[in-house]
Structure 1
Amino acid sequence: MRNGMIICLSTILLGMMTTENTIAQQKKIKPLVIVEQGSFAVGGIKITNPGTFNVQDALKPEGQTLHGDHAYVFYQVPDKSKKLPLVFLHGAGQSKKTWESTPDGREGFQNIFLRKKYPVYLLDQPRRAAAGRTTVASAISTTADEQFWFTQFRIGNYPNYFENVQFPRDEQSLAQFYRQMTPNTGAFDAKVISDAISGLFDRIGSGILVTHSQGGGPGWMTAIQNTNVKAIAAYEPYSSFLFPEGEVPTPISSTGLFGALKGQAIPLEDFLKLTKIPIVIYYGDNIADAPTDIWNKDHWRSGLEMALKWAEVINKYGGDATVVHLPEIGIKGNTHFPFSDLNNVEVAEALSDWLKSKGLDK
């Protein structure tokens, strides 16, 4: 959309409107004014096949090209926007849908932060969703595994919901949640992802990176390679915590299904780049505070413990890293997806307050 063209968008509530919260919000919704929006690909590589292209035999690969391994970006800029945009990167099995509407049809972080006047950039990482064009072939699994993800993402221990969980308990919302799962079209490669995100920051300039889960690792890597990343907010990162060489902590064991959680070593020179920006990490509820046989709670216990160790090292070198366990600040019942839970407005306010405290809301 060209600059200066103003669009008034009334939010389209997706999915089946089944909860009282959704209906109440729908009645209160106000128009959202967008002055610019668009989409583009960024990053990736181009492969040229040997030989000469023959238009009369156009199905043969000789001389033809393949553009792949890029990220897909959709962006919107609200009227009277703030200076620094928010760039949102999803986690494993997800896409930019993560940040759009919630499973029960309420506004997600996309609109919540547009209403707070932040320009918003939503990413599909390379080899995922709208960025599915890959240079590395991979089989797509059709394994039935949704009850595992229900449990892994701390909605509950299937078929039971956690007692206080901030997830809608109707079948239609759960089906919407399952249907937003998205497969990789090629092997996960954190360097390919961080290169593409860095290319985005080269294009848009300074901004704030917001990551989820598996997106945490590529997020740290992007900040190391691009000084346009002015802050990072990470929701429930688990793997890929980067430590200086010689300072990687002992792996943290858990009864989860993936073994002990290990940190990764990088040169101190690179690690110190992470100490130059403010970083906040958020974790939700139903995470064990001591080892337990309840595997999903114990799995995320190891992640939270590793995050605390990581922040301690960041701050030891003069950085500014904070780990927030949401129940400890009175925000309770959140799953692995706090930004789309029933209390996501409250979760967004916590991030908004943090951005303001760091002078990132101008």
Structure 2
Amino acid sequence: MRTIILSFLTCLLLFCGAKAQNTTKMPPMVVVEQGSFLIGGTVTTDKQGNTYHADHGYVFYQIPTNPRPYPLVFLHGIHQASKTWESTPDGREGFQNIFLRQGFSTYNMTHPRRGNAGRSQEKALVEPVFDEQIWYTKWRIGVYPDYFEGVQFPKDKESLEQFFRQITPNTGPMDFEVETDAIAALFDKLGGAIMVAHSRGVMQTWKTIPKTENIKAVVAWEGGGFFSFPDDEPRPDIDVDEGIEYIMVSPDTFERFTRIPMLLVYGDNIPEAKSNIPELDIWRIRLRLAKLWAATVNRHGGDVTVIHLPEIGIYGNTHFPMSDLNNTKIAEIMAKWLERKGLNN
């Protein structure tokens, strides 16, 4: 008995230590339904008739009392999984709970060949890659090992430890067709929802929109890549080649982007002029592309808003504004935009 009590106390102390920074008392949430499921995917059969199910997505969902009409689908970025939206590195609530408290049903997705959706039809070698310092800089926490002045990232050792540990590997080759098939299947299952995507998830969003009519709006956090311009117009005047950062698509495909309201949000410490640090300079290019793309879509009758947070007086946000120290303030920006577009009632 004494051993059991000591073990319990030890676990309790460790748990409290890990949560030491999460001191805010929140009222209870009422959830009428929650669960998880797999979506999309393929089935192959060998010569003996044995089957192999793979390339599906994983979704964890929660439905509150009296949910708003459109649920939110959260989609993570590169080297991440659904943890992006669950809670912050220092233990505060993430967007999954913040918006659940606001009455939205939430569907937190991990795309195929990652995390809980790791069963892949294609093999991959998962090996250690010593790249955390590169991502530290590219995700604009600072130029490693320094923090940017005023950065909205917690500077304690434990938070950085948690942040690095949420990086997760691919279990198969990254494949936009495989990924977006599963994402489109989720929206079709829901019959209409709002996409809330981050980073590479925004690239997946641009590739998913032509596959389904059920994405009713998009909130894109720090997206870069696959900005889709109509191929019957001149290419954007930008210092990158076509292929990854932007693509040219048919006028019919481009027209799909004009049908739904979209909000694109970017954080701080994006260079205004060309930088000799490639991990930072790419964000200068992506922000400029986002503004060029928004202007093009809007000229064709679309509804795209781009917010660069320092331009509205909000400073210090990293590539992960949804988990920065001011994430509740950042969530308000999204909530107010949804309200203005009539998407929350």
User: Same fold, TM exceeding 0.5?
Assistant: yes
Q: For residues 16 and 262 of structure 2, what CA distance do their matches in structure 1 show?
A: 32
Aligned match for 2:228, one of 235, 242, 260: 242
Letter in structure 1 aligned against 2:39: V
Tell me what 1:270 maps to. 253
Tell me what 2:5 maps to. none
Q: For residues 326 and 14 of structure 1, what CA distance do their matches in structure 2 show?
A: 34
Letter in structure 2 aligned against 1:218: Q
Q: For residues 92 and 299 of structure 1, what CA distance do their matches in structure 2 show?
A: 15
TM-score (norm 1): 0.88
Larger deviation, residues 108-117 vs 213-222:
213-222
Tell me what 2:19 maps to. 17
RMSD: 1.8
Shift of 1:176: 0.3
Shift of 1:260: 9.7
Q: For residues 244 and 292 of structure 2, what CA distance do their matches in structure 1 show?
A: 12
SS in 2 for 1:287: coil
Question: Is the 2:263–2:305 contact (alpha carbons within 8 Å) kept by the matching residues of 1?
Answer: yes
Tell me what 2:286 maps to. 303
Q: For residues 189 and 250 of structure 1, what CA distance do their matches in structure 2 show?
A: 28
SS in 1 for 2:187: helix
Aligned match for 2:193, one of 207, 211, 217: 207
Question: Is the 2:226–2:244 contact (alpha carbons within 8 Å) kept by the matching residues of 1?
Answer: no
Tell me what 1:287 maps to. 270
SS in 2 for 1:123: strand
Q: For residues 127 and 299 of structure 2, what CA distance do their matches in structure 1 show?
A: 43
- The answer to whether 1:150 aligns with 2:136 is yes
Aligned match for 1:114, one of 93, 96, 100: 100
SS in 1 for 2:137: helix
- The answer to whether 1:225 aligns with 2:211 is yes
Tell me what 1:45 maps to. 42
Tell me what 1:337 maps to. 320
Question: Is the 2:112–2:118 contact (alpha carbons within 8 Å) kept by the matching residues of 1?
Answer: yes
Structure 2, gaps ≥5 residues long = 1-14
Tell me what 1:360 maps to. 343
TM-score (norm 2): 0.92
SS in 1 for 2:113: coil
- The answer to whether 1:136 aligns with 2:122 is yes
Length, aligned pairs only: 330
Cα displacement string for residues 63-87 of structure 1 (whole angstroms, at most 9, x for unaligned residues): 2111111000110001121110000
Tell me what 2:26 maps to. 29
- The answer to whether 1:326 aligns with 2:313 is no
SS in 1 for 2:18: coil
Shift of 1:141: 2.5
Cα displacement string for residues 252-294 of structure 1 (whole angstroms, at most 9, x for unaligned residues): 259xxxx996411111101101100001100000001122224
Larger deviation, residues 170-179 vs 215-224:
215-224
Tell me what 2:162 maps to. 176
Letter in structure 2 aligned against 1:268: P
Structure 1, gaps ≥5 residues long = 1-12, 53-62
Question: Is the 1:215–1:237 contact (alpha carbons within 8 Å) kept by the matching residues of 2?
Answer: yes
Aligned match for 1:166, one of 145, 152, 156: 152
Tell me what 1:8 maps to. none
- The answer to whether 1:316 aligns with 2:299 is yes
Letter in structure 1 aligned against 2:36: S
- The answer to whether 1:252 aligns with 2:239 is yes
